[in-house]
Amino acid sequence: MTDSEYRHLAERLTAAGADLAAIESKLRDLQIETPSWGYGDSGTRFGVFPQAGRPRDVFERIEDAAATQRLTGNASAVALHFPWDQIEDYGELKAAIANAGLSVGAINPNLFGDPDYKLGSITNPDAGVRAKALEHLHQCLQIGTTLEATGQSLWLADGTNYAGQDDFSARRDRLEESLHAWYQEFPVEQEMYIEYKFFEPAFYATDLADWGSALLIAQSLGDQAKVLVDLGHHAQGVNIEQIVNLVQRAGKLGGFHFNNRKYADDDLIVGSVNPLELFFIFVELTAAGKTLPRLTIDQSHNVEQKLEAMVRSVMNLQESYAKALLVDRAALLAAQEAGDVLAGHEVLLDAFNTDVRPLTAHIRTELGAAANPIAELRGSGYLARRIAERDSQTIELKG
Ligand code: PSV
Ligand code: MN
């Protein structure tokens, strides 16, 4: 992208009435969290394909998150997952994140990896297992306090595979009791984000299946409890932007896990399958009077180069956000009030079909990041250096 392409676009947008200075200021302020777990090894249930130069511990995952930030300029925080990122000394982790020029994103407790959670964690019929799960949640709050994190992002794998396996009401009672107990411990500095998912690993009923079940519990807990929308966690065809609007109106939209899917919870690069849906979501997020919630990427890159995939994801978010900021809200309202169906739709399409790449490249340059992040990454030798360092030495694994 060249300066002249930017100037040309800027002139055209300004002539069309856009407040470019205000839009550019919002683009500079965009804050995206990338997930520590998105940089390390991952796979499907059929296999894992280790990548050359992949990070071996949380410190190396932070190095890669910092590379994403340097290249894109808007990925300033790193979300953490425990115990995947567990280490002895969280002071050391906090310093490493700060030294990398990043801030601490949401803390993600993990209540799905331990064999004890086979029949559930905080909904398990066994009180001992529930107590163990609550202890982990308690520890995550403490880690959050040490790291000065501002949120805990909870996803439950809890659910049942067969009708009759357990009782819906009993499970909901256990869920409510446990989350109320955890909520009582929350310091004012942290929020609780409740993620929902309609299937997997449970295949009959998950205990937080949809936005309604998450919203109900968030409302019963209090102001610090909110709903988190993961784009891979809905049935096919569900209108996610309408859910976003509803939860936002209830004052309970806490955050996002961005990814994209074609079939199920595919965890593909955000915007890679359905960029139009992503844009419609940003149209809701940028409506008058709304403030952006926490924006986190939650992806698993299996066949594509992981760092490139993360950088591409941030760029896709930058572009989608920029397009939403271009929507002519006055024209949209006028069309809606006039009952002019296609005029309203076309206002959205005009923004969606604008090639904003010169604008997002310009903003990245202003932020000291790269106009062309993928080309810059490929030309920088970053990956070759990481392969040389990480694949040739053995280190004491810290997390
Ligand atoms: C579950 O599918 C999920 O979306 C949760 O957010 C987990 O923390 C994450 O994926 C693990 O990759
Ligand atoms: Mn998620």
Q: What is the pLDDT of residue 42?
A: 87
Question: Is residue 282 lining ligand 1, measured as CB closer than 6 Å?
Answer: no
Q: What is the DSSP letter of 260?
A: B
pLDDT at 118 over 90: yes
pLDDT digits (tens, 9 = 90+) for 332-364: 999 999 999 999 999 999 999 999 999 999 999
CA distance 211 to 219: 12
pTM for the full predicted model = 0.97
pLDDT digits (tens, 9 = 90+) for 147-194: 999 999 999 999 999 999 999 999 999 999 999 999 999 999 999 999
What is the four-CA torsion angle of 110, 274, 324, 285, rounded to 10 degrees?
A: -30
Closest atom, ligand 1, to C-alpha of 300: 12
Residue 145, exposed/middle/buried by CB under 10 A (0-12, 13-18, 19+)? middle
pLDDT at 203 over 80: yes
Residue 228, exposed/middle/buried by CB under 10 A (0-12, 13-18, 19+)? buried
pLDDT digits (tens, 9 = 90+) for 77-91: 999 999 999 999 999
CA distance 151 to 106: 5
Q: What is the pLDDT of residue 399?
A: 52
Question: What residue owns the CA closest to ligand 1's atom 2?
Answer: 265
- Find the 201 Cα to ligand 2 centroid distance in Å: 13
Angle between helices 58-72 and 373-380 (to 10 degrees): 130
Q: What is the pLDDT of residue 279?
A: 99
- Could you tell me the residue ranges of all domains in the chain? 31-325+369-391
Q: What is the pLDDT of residue 382?
A: 98
Q: What is the pLDDT of residue 393?
A: 66
Q: What is the pLDDT of residue 43?
A: 87
Q: What is the pLDDT of residue 269?
A: 98
What mean pLDDT do residues 25-47 have?
95
Question: What residue owns the CA closest to ligand 1's atom 1?
Answer: 155
Other residues' Cβ atoms within 10 Å of the Cβ of residue 45: 6
Chosen CATH of 31-325+369-391 out of 3.40.1790.10, 3.20.20.70, 3.90.340.10, 3.20.20.150 = 3.20.20.150
pLDDT digits (tens, 9 = 90+) for 283-339: 999 999 999 999 999 999 999 999 999 999 999 999 999 999 999 999 999 999 999
What are residue 173's phi and psi, to 5 degrees?
-60, -45
Beta-carbon contacts of residue 180 (< 8 Å; ≥ 6 apart) = 220, 221
Q: Is the bond leading into 115 cis (omega within 30 degrees of zero)? A: no
Q: How far is CA 363 from CA 10, 77, 273, 331, 374, in A?
A: 12, 18, 25, 26, 16
pLDDT at 27 over 90: yes
CB 78 within 8 A of CB 36: yes
Beta-carbon contacts of residue 270 (< 8 Å; ≥ 6 apart) = 231, 258, 259, 260, 278, 297, 299, 313, 316, 317
Closest atom, ligand 1, to C-alpha of 157: 1
Question: Is residue 258 lining ligand 1, measured as CB closer than 6 Å?
Answer: no
DSSP string for 267-333: -BPTTSS-HHHHHHHHHHHTSTT----EEEE----SSS-HHHHHHHHHHHHHHHHHHHHT--HHHHH
CA distance 372 to 319: 13
pLDDT at 397 over 70: no
Percent residues over pLDDT 70 in the chain: 98
Percent residues over pLDDT 90 in the chain: 95
Q: What is the pLDDT of residue 87?
A: 97
pLDDT at 395 over 60: no
